[in-house]
Chains A and B, each alone.
Chain A
């Protein structure tokens, strides 16, 4: 059964359509990259998938059930998102932020259980956050904050993980760590990952499938080799590129020709 499926999905904030007639289906444990120029509706698509927004027309089905029929807590236990940035107006500890990922599992009154602490600690260990667990979130660097937000998403124990440009602030070491963590979770826990990125090579190297959005429409979906063609790049991004195979891992490689 496909874990996520959109049917004729359309969305508009005002009169101008942001997404138009998007249909696709994803199987469990797929890693999908969403690429496209600025304003092509990538982030909006993520927000529709986790029911932050609801479609103007069409449907989003998670495990076969329309997102409108899920309760907030149910969705939060199934789909987690790592946002681009999170406002830090009031000083919370990093570990308090991660612990918030356990909210959908507890009543509003209940305090965290031992299991919650274990899961939160584990998530922090996976993203290398334990060393600053007791520091204030707003005093951390952008990359550290991003790791905390990733840990919070992992603490939700989701089946689908949505990433919105989640690697941009990470240094090389933590990028590598994070990408291999994703692969490991994908392999061991069958985590489905959907990530939005501008880095087409990152997408090509790490995703099974690419979804290319252009002006709110699904321009192409398929393997990196199918989607990343010189013709597509020219038409969607208006750039000339050279396409070849990366000698290190055999992935499709895009080189900007300027």
Chain B
């Protein structure tokens, strides 16, 4: 993933030659001096690119796993209301001024996300020991609706300065990442990927139906809890730092399935890589299309992704 992010450096428009010089200069230790361009490159853009990659990978992984777990091709990491809970947490954070502490707002958003997952479990009847897909999905929808209302309520009572900051965050914003935060997110993402990949074969079986998975030797309930927990974590991290970036979680898994098939041993890594690159490209576009103004990256992901997805669907229909 790192080498991938490095590749994407070329996509920035400072003048590719300068970028290459700066990068190789740093790698080989003969830094030519701290020009303004290099400063922008390493302290603004590089973190942001890395961060976009991490968030993209996280959301795509979340999409793959949720679609498999709920056996619903329309599921995505946000379907269980994680976005709503997370956003509410962040808004509370912004309103009470938690942004003055290191990781203050993301932490509250993260708490909100985890609380949501817990709530969804309880509403869906996790207490009875069975998790029916439909009840989980329904509970997610209900919880999400409730949080949306709560967010609207919160937005209507805060003042306009905060309002702008909040609504930009809600639309998806990759610009607030600091290197420290990125390091944490990267670690978390990598750990979650390892955990998820270890379940890849079981995911294949769970997609066949929970009863079938059970009959083929999977301890479904334990696997399901583990997967939900890990995926919620990975999603919460992405959402709490980057806001709500739609489309990726639903579409990237589909695209990868069209290309690589449904085996999760292939699907998980390819979705992570493609999701990462997709968001890096989208974020680069978001920064440059209307520069110096910036678009919310969520706008770009949906605008570019939807036509591409239709193209893939149609091509597959003919082939």
Contact residue among B209, B212, B219, B257 (Cβ-Cβ distance under 8 Å from A91): B257
Q: Cβ of A94 < 8 Å from any Cβ of B?
A: no
B262, A92: Cβ atoms closer than 8 Å = yes
- Please tell me the size bucket of the interface on A: 20 to 34
Question: How many Å lie between the Cα of A77 and that of B216 in the bound state?
Answer: 8
Using A96-B263, A108-B199, A108-B202 as known contacts, say yes or no to A90 and B216 having CB atoms under 8 A apart.
no
Interface 1/0s, chain A 115-130, versus B by CB < 8 A? 0000000000000000
B71 — which chain A residues lie within 8 A by C-beta? Answer: 87, 89
**Contact call B204/A100, Cβ cutoff below 8 A:** yes
Set B209, B217, B261: member contacting A103, Cβ < 8 A: B217
Task: Check if B137 is an interface residue, CB within 8 A of chain A.
Answer: no
Within A49-97, which residues are at the interface with B (CB < 8 Å)? 50-52, 72-73, 75-77, 79-81, 83, 86-87, 89-93, 96-97
Interface flag for B218 (CB, 8 Å): yes
Which one of B73, B211, B212, B217 lies within 8 Å of A90 (CB-CB)? B73
Task: Return chain B residues, CB-CB under 8 Å to A77.
Answer: 217
Q: Using a CB-CB cutoff of 8 Å, which residues 27-61 of chain A contact chain B?
A: 47, 50-52
Contacts of B150 in A (CB 8 A): none
Interface residues on B, range: 20 to 34
B217/A76 in contact, CB under 8 A: yes
Q: Is the CB of B262 within 8 A of A87?
A: no
A104 interfacial contact with B, CB 8 Å:
yes
- Min CB–CB distance A42 → chain B (angstroms): 16
Type the 1/0 row for A161-194, where 1 means its CB is closer than 8 Å to any CB of B: 0000000000000000000000000000000000
B215 and A103 within 8 A (CB): no
Query: B205 at interface (Cβ–Cβ under 8 A)?
Result: yes
Between B198, B205, B218, B262, the greatest number of chain A beta carbons within 10 A of the residue's beta carbon is seen for B262
Within 8 A of A (CB), among B232-282: 257, 261-263, 265
Of the residues A51, A93, A100, A108, contact of B216 by C-beta under 8 Å = A100
Other-chain residue from A83, A101, A108 in contact with B201 (beta carbon distance below 8 A): A108
Q: Which residues of A contact B73 (CB under 8 A)?
A: 89-90
Closest to A107 in B: B201
Alpha-carbon distance between A81 and B217 when the two chains are bound, in angstroms: 12
Q: Does B208 contact A (CB under 8 A)?
A: yes
B209 touches A87 (CB 8 A): yes
User: Are the C-beta atoms of B215 and A89 separated by less than 8 Å?
Assistant: no
Instruction: Provide the residues of chain B in CB contact with A89, threshold 8 Å.
Output: 71-73, 207
A163 → B minimal CB distance (Å) = 13
Q: Can you spell out 21 A-B residue pairs with CB atoms less than 8 angstroms apart?
A: A72-B218, A72-B219, A75-B215, A75-B217, A76-B217, A79-B215, A83-B211, A89-B73, A90-B68, A90-B73, A90-B257, A90-B262, A91-B261, A92-B204, A92-B207, A92-B263, A96-B263, A97-B208, A100-B205, A104-B216, A108-B201
